[in-house]
Amino acid sequence: MLYRLDASQVANGVKNREFSAEEYIHQILERIEVVEPKVNALVTVNSKGAVEQARALDKKIRDGEAAGPLAGVAVSIKDNISTKGIRTTCASKMLDGYVPPYDATVVKRLQDAGAIVIGKANLDEFAMGSTTEFSRNGPTRNPWDISRVPGGSSGGSAASVAALECAISLGSDTGGSVRCPASFCSVVGLKPTYGLVSRYGLISYANSLEQVGPVGRTVADVAATLAAMAGQDDNDHTTAPGKPSYLVSKMPLRVGLVKEFVEDADPKVSKIVYSAYDTLEKEGCRCAEASMPSVQYALASYYTIAMAEASSNLARYDNVRYGFDMSPDGYEWNSYFAKSRSNFGEEVKRRIITGSYVLSSGYYGKYYLKAQQVRSLLRRELKSLFTQFDVLIGPTMPILPFPIGEKVDDPLKMYLVDVDTVVANLAGIPAISVPAGFSNNNLPIGLQFMADEFSEQTMFDAAYTFESVAKVQRSPDL
Ligand code: GLN
């Protein structure tokens, strides 16, 4: 069953000609047919393109040409990341039928490394949400319990990796959208340091907060995917110079447990986090409690900034330059514009309206600037903590995966689930979610590691130290 293999096993097998990329891709496509009716993780399956890419790669290998580090590996791409010739919709009516004329830099780099795009993954409309319920394509379901949410907004990415429809996936993380579904689906998900990965071709939600991040079933696969796509890009001037590589190994480090994160979590979650703390201590890490008092302002600050940026970014969708054909009766600008934009979903509209409000004169200082001050405060607190600790740990999500429909009508309840993830986005630091265990009723719980800017290597070492002894990795019965 080749579809069960992790990315590193696929790349080795293909390169050593133990099996062909084409055989593997065929098995992946069959697997997708079997599980997709249950999980609804993919909005487009690139069957023909994937088989063609696999054949081309097999030929290259037969001809003795070098194959990349991700040779043959099936990858799903969140549907807000541009893929040349493959429909990219952001799960929104606004981008119905939109086929990008170019690849995002991250997609191109993964393909150059040998990865094969198997399909596009479901998400909350324009990546705004935490459950994948705000998708025009219907909700993705958690592979561990299909009556529950997979997390979001990159729910399709995490669910497709957990359900063995691909070995790795790309999501985007503005306030936790890679880590939340990784935690809920028991896979590994990373948000890189701001500026490590190109955003060129990622359809913007809130530019100052977001990064594209990899999802995989092991820390090593996530590190290899990050290495393949990270580094400077002339098309994104926020990228930092250099091209990193990572070697994942066990390392006794200084670990701080963020007190505020565990205190507010569901006891079933904190129990697992405390036992992870003990595991790390047994592995020789120097563990202690850490405190970040300004965490209490993080969520309000995040949603203020994210909505402000969203209101500006989404102004471009007027159904003139992008989007579906509404067959308008006449082109009077105001009514046409209003009619077009009424096609956004409720959550997106809510954010555009709230975002415009916090930026309006009279309220700008009270809300937007205040939120930016919190951001500076958090950064300062973290800088000082990272002189004492190599990594900070805590729960990725304060709660267990909940039933579909439970929070969908209550925006505040929905926003609250992001308390532990938004901190890393506000501060621009890297964070990773690693499977930490399961509740009594077999629901996944994730452990989050955060490190200082551009300290991905240290974070991988800490995450791997835990992963290699905790041995939580397994797959759901589907
Ligand atoms: N749940 C958060 C939001 O709705 C995060 C989304 C994301 O990271 N894209 O804004």
The per-residue pLDDT string of the chain (478 residues; one tens digit each, 9 = 90 and over) reads: 999 999 999 999 999 999 999 999 999 999 999 999 999 999 999 999 999 999 999 999 999 999 999 999 999 999 999 999 999 999 999 998 899 999 999 999 999 999 999 999 999 999 999 999 999 999 999 999 999 999 999 999 999 999 999 999 999 999 999 999 999 999 999 999 999 999 999 999 999 999 999 999 999 999 999 999 999 999 999 999 999 999 999 999 999 999 999 999 999 999 999 999 999 999 999 999 999 999 999 999 999 999 999 999 999 998 877 766 656 566 677 888 888 888 899 999 999 999 999 999 999 999 999 999 999 999 999 999 999 999 999 999 999 999 999 999 999 999 999 999 999 999 999 999 999 999 999 999 999 999 999 999 999 999 999 999 999 989 999 9
Question: Is 177 an active-site residue?
Answer: yes
129 alpha carbon – ligand 1 mean position (Å): 5
Domains of the chain: 1-478 (3.90.1300.10)
pTM of the model: 0.97
- The catalytic residue among 15, 78, 120, 407 is 78
- Rounded Cα distance, 88 and 107, in Å: 13
Q: Which of 43, 90, 153, 130 is nearest to 345 (CA)?
A: 90
For residue 176, the ligand 1 atom closest to its alpha carbon is 8
176 alpha carbon – ligand 1 mean position (Å): 6
Strand partners, 81: 202
Q: What is the DSSP letter of 2?
A: G
Mutate to test the pocket of ligand 1, among 153, 208, 351 (most ligand atoms within 8 A of CB): 153
Strand partners, 392: 256, 450
Question: Is 327 an active-site residue?
Answer: no
116 alpha carbon – ligand 1 mean position (Å): 27
Extract the tokens encoding 153. 């907004």
- The catalytic residue among 20, 157, 177, 340 is 177
How far is CA 83 from each of CA 51, 72, 153, rounded to the nearest angstrom?
A: 16, 18, 19
For residue 306, the ligand 1 atom closest to its alpha carbon is 10
- The catalytic residue among 8, 130, 153, 186 is 153
Cβ < 6 Å from ligand 1: which residues?
127-130, 153, 172-177, 205, 306, 418
- Rounded Cα distance, 26 and 18, in Å: 15
Helix (H) or strand (E) holding 383: helix 370-388
Mutate to test the pocket of ligand 1, among 180, 212, 314, 420 (most ligand atoms within 8 A of CB): 180
For residue 129, the ligand 1 atom closest to its alpha carbon is 4
Question: Is 78 an active-site residue?
Answer: yes
Whole-number pLDDT of residue 379:
97
150 alpha carbon – ligand 1 mean position (Å): 14
- How many Cβ atoms are within 10 Å of 168's Cβ, its own excluded? 30
Q: What is the DSSP letter of 130?
A: S
Mutate to test the pocket of ligand 1, among 123, 124, 351 (most ligand atoms within 8 A of CB): 124
